[in-house]
Amino acid sequence: MALLVNGALKSAISLERLTRRKFDGSFPALAIDYVLNAQNLTPSDIDCVVFFESPFLKLQRQEKVSNQNIALSKKYTLLFQAEYYIQKYFGKEIEIHYSEHHLSHLLHSYYQANFKQSCFLIVDGVGEVSCSLSGYIDEKSIESFETDLFPHSLGLYYSAFTQYLGFKANSDEYKVMGLAAYGRPKFTDKLKNTFSNTENNRPMLNLDYFTFQANQNSLFTEALVQHLGIKPRDENEEITQTHKDLAASVQKVLEDELVNKTQKLKRKYPDVDNLVLGGGVALNCLANLAIKRCGAFKNVFVPYACGDEGGAIGAAFYGARKHGLTIKKSTPYLGKVYSQTNNLDQYFLTSRPAESETIASLLKKGAIVGLFSEGAEFGPRSLGARSILAHPNLTGMKAKINKHIKLRENFRPLAPVIIEKYGYKYFKNFYPSPYMTMVFESNLIAQQKIPQALHVDGTARVQSVNDPNMLLYQILMDFNILTDIPALINTSMNLNTEPIVETELDAFFFFVRSKIDYLVLNDTLYAITELKPEYYDFINSYYKDYRHANRDGYTF
């Protein structure tokens, strides 16, 4: 859900942050309330509502699919009730528009990049009827060059192998990307044989191997298992070297296909230097690196919310574009600013001011610190407003955070946040990366000074900061003074399978349940050792009831 006022993006929120349920698909009344309240607006102030995709086009695709999933059919039936839900919520007749799925992704990417003209490459699982879109955009026009139609989807291809490797499709693709670094692409030739390219050199999946169209739980067929000669991994089965090699092979095929699309795009528009990426596949930072490394475009930009949640911003931009408004670039810090009204001091023996020098000193000693500061970031990355920070050069820190704090697999990498001017020294071919959407190869100094923030292959998904007004920047500066290291580990403030925290209470519950050492809550610093013992059981019990009731209905 996003709110645009006179062309300026003012507020945005994912419903799951409020309900504490990952991928919440209920009617987003809470999210609408949130963005309106954040700007002191009421439903009567809203002039126009825009949906990020067209349910009508999507249903046409569903009708062509044999044995379609009944649950999906019900969902798209609800899509047609969208106007009813909206009119009921706003209590008045209101102007309603429908953007298209990939257009919403495109507009979000383009206007956040701030390029006057750019090529674009949007790739995901599936939109209404297409699975990718590429072309050219400027302030006045959009030109489509190439699109892949369902079911020939690079995003669904990657999801199928996410499932093949024992992870959850349309959720755990990042695990495959992380696992790929531990393997060798030994099965690339076999995987490429699951494609057949047309005369236009576009990927066409062999549907003998995949079941995207069928009403089945599996996205792949027994024929694919026979073709690969690899038994699909069960969820709780040990990960072997074969699984790592398969992940590496899947990643390599995806990268090759995306580079091919990028090079074709450049041949079509040889005088354009800029490329914006979007869609869920743009969350694959290794693929983004491959696209950048191929050298087709001088500038490659990926926005902070390139997945479907960012489609809400693109839809808002679509409405602004229709109304002839000048669209302004925004920061990702679009959340509500909370004043500490929950009186959390009552649960602690003592607290102290959250001064950057103090926090840096604690981090130097090996403390793990939660940072809750100002309005939350929109998108899947924590960028200093809802972050966990730690020392990047203490042996075992990565394993400690993964195992004891995040409660997740140890092969998953952590990411560094670095003062921007030092990025050029620590990483090869560095350029500003404020949104943690690009991967860079590390230099020797990074391997020596921040090894716990690097992946096993020496790469890192980097966030760079240069805003002196950010508390995160001030902490980094003081940490550099104390340690001669201008970077920290930065990972999101949430437990495995849970959304990133949104409110002060969310952060507090995370603090107590994860038992990290310290929590910065705006201007106050709390230590876990100062929590009054009598509150442990009460807090853990209370948390179970600390969730909004899930609501059935249409999701934006």
Comparison of pLDDT for 428 and 195, the residue scoring more: 428
* In contact, 282 and 302? CB cutoff 8 Å: yes
Predicted local distance difference test score (pLDDT) of residue 533: 86
Let me know if residue 47 belongs to a domain.
yes
Classify residue 448: in a domain, yes or no.
yes
Instruction: Answer yes or no: is pLDDT of 546 > 80.
Output: no
Confidence of residue 71 (pLDDT cuts 50, 70, 90): very low
Q: Which residues pair with 277 in a beta bridge?
A: 121
CA–CA separation, 328 vs 1, rounded Å?
18
DSSP characters over 413-455: --EEEEEHHHHHHHBTT----TTS--EEEBPHHHHHH-GGGS-
Segment 419-423 mean pLDDT? 98
Give the closest residue to 105 by CA, choosing from 53, 145, 155, 152. 53
Sorting pLDDT into bands at 50, 70 and 90, what band is 58?
confident
Within a domain: residue 111?
A: no
pLDDT at 198: 61
Confidence of residue 203 (pLDDT cuts 50, 70, 90): confident
Alpha carbons within 13 A on the beta-carbon side of 480: 14
Specify the pLDDT at position 526: 96
For the chain, the domain total comes to 3
What does the pLDDT read at residue 504? 92
pLDDT at 217: 85
Q: What is the CATH number of the domain that holds 522?
A: 3.90.870.20
CATH no. for residue 72? 3.30.420.40
Euclidean distance between CA atoms 287 and 289, whole angstroms? 5
Mean pLDDT of 424-441: 98
Angle (CA) 55 8 418, round 5°: 100
Q: Report whether 332 contacts 378 (CB < 8 A).
A: yes
When pLDDT is averaged across residues 465-493 and rounded to a whole number, the result is 98
Per-residue pLDDT tens over the stretch 34-54: 999 999 999 999 999 999 998
pLDDT at residue 132, as a whole number: 97
The model's pLDDT over 289-304, given as tens digits with 9 standing for 90+, comes to 999 999 999 999 999 9
Looking at the fold, whether 70 and 207 belong to one and the same domain comes out as: no
318 and 353 belong to one structural domain: no
Does the residue 133 lie in any domain?
Answer: no
The whole-number pLDDT of residue 192 equals: 93
pLDDT value, residue 146: 96
Decide if pLDDT at 553 tops 70: no
Q: Which residue is associated with the tokens 């991928």?
A: 23
Which of 165-174, 200-209, 524-533 is predicted with the least confidence, judged by mean pLDDT? 200-209
| Model confidence at 321: pLDDT above 80 | yes
Both 396 and 537 in one domain: the answer is yes
Relative to beta strand 195-197, strand 203-205 is antiparallel
- Mark whether 182 and 251 lie in a shared domain: yes
Burial, 277: exposed, middle or buried (Cβ in 10 Å; 0-12, 13-18, 19+)? buried
For residue 123, the surrounding DSSP H or E stretch is strand 117-123
The verdict on residue 127 lying in a domain is no
At 117, phi and psi to the nearest 5? -140, 150
Residues 257 and 354 in one domain: no
Residues 535 and 401 in one domain: yes
Q: How confident is the model at residue 26 (pLDDT cuts 50, 70, 90)?
A: confident
Residue 29 has pLDDT above 80, yes or no: yes
The yes-or-no verdict on residue 242 having pLDDT over 50 is yes
Coil, strand or helix at 41? coil
In a domain, 328, yes or no: no
With a cut of 50, say whether residue 337 has pLDDT above it: yes
Within this chain, do residues 161 and 36 fall inside the same structural domain, yes or no? no
At residue 130, does pLDDT exceed 50?
A: yes
What would the pLDDT profile of 508-539 be if each residue is shown by its tens digit? 999 999 989 999 999 999 999 999 988 877 77
Assess whether pLDDT exceeds 50 at residue 548: no
Query: What average pLDDT does range 256-274 have in this prediction?
Result: 98
Structure token pair of residue 278:
């979007």
Rg (CA), the chain: 23
Q: What is the pLDDT of residue 552?
A: 39
**The pLDDT of residue 386:** 98
Task: Specify if 469 maps to a domain.
Answer: yes
Answer with the one of 247, 268, 301 that is the final residue of a domain: 301
Residue 556 C-alpha from the chain's centroid: 17
pLDDT at 248 over 80: yes
63 vs 25, residue with greater confidence: 25
The reported pLDDT for the residue numbered 551 is 38
State residue 493's pLDDT score.
Answer: 98
Q: Is residue 15 part of a domain?
A: yes
- Regarding whether 203 and 167 lie in a shared domain, the answer is yes
- Residue 187: what are its φ and ψ, rounded to 5°? -110, 20
Q: What pLDDT, in 10s, does the model give residues 352-390?
A: 999 999 999 999 999 999 999 989 999 999 999 999 999
- Clarify whether residues 363 and 296 are in a common domain: no
How confident is the model over 125-141, as a mean pLDDT? 95
- CA 277/CA 289 separation, integer angstroms: 12
How far apart are alpha carbons 125 and 155 in whole angstroms? 4
Residue 550 pLDDT grade (very low, low, confident, very high; cuts 50, 70, 90): very low
Query: Residue 356 class from Cβ within 10 Å (0-12 exposed, 13-18 middle, 19+ buried)?
Result: middle
Torsion over CA: 231, 236, 240, 244 (sign) = positive
Query: For 178, phi and psi rounded to 5 degrees?
Result: -65, -40
Q: How far apart are CA 125 and CA 111, in angstroms?
A: 23
Asked whether residue 95 falls in the same domain as residue 70, the answer is yes
Q: 385 and 271: one domain?
A: no
Of all residues in the chain, what percent carry a pLDDT higher than 90?
80
- Say yes or no: 429 and 381 in one domain: yes
pLDDT of residue 339: 78
265 is in which domain, residue-wise? 149-301
Average pLDDT in the chain: 91
